[in-house]
Structure 1
């Protein structure tokens, strides 16, 4: 019984390590794509996704309209989607 438990723990550990490696790989790829965005798009994307600021908060911080924030996010997400193909 103990041997079966050890095997299960070992398999689970390998699975977790694999998932972490895949996650790190994808996060790295995402950052490479985000770094290729135009400066303002990149800034809006990072404020939204990395700092979890709302559209209104971003608009105030960057002194642009909420509509402009949404436009930048739309462009950023389309660019990321197009350039981060996961097969």
Structure 2
């Protein structure tokens, strides 16, 4: 992520559902090209590792779909720090 993100970092929070499945969510939202709305990457898995991997893969997919090779401050927004 170093060459892509302005601050070279992104946090991923993993939640566990009551059924034992896991969901990952990034603290960084990309302002999507098609509507300008910020969207966080979300991923799912049966384990923490699977949810983390799926979240990162979806983040990279969003970058690819929107044609980003590098993000600037204008392209992103961060979740409230206390949420992470």
Same fold flag (TM > 0.5): no
Q: Which has the higher helix share?
A: 1
Larger Rg: 1
TM-score (normalizing by structure 2): 0.31
TM-score by length of 1: 0.30
Larger strand percent:
2
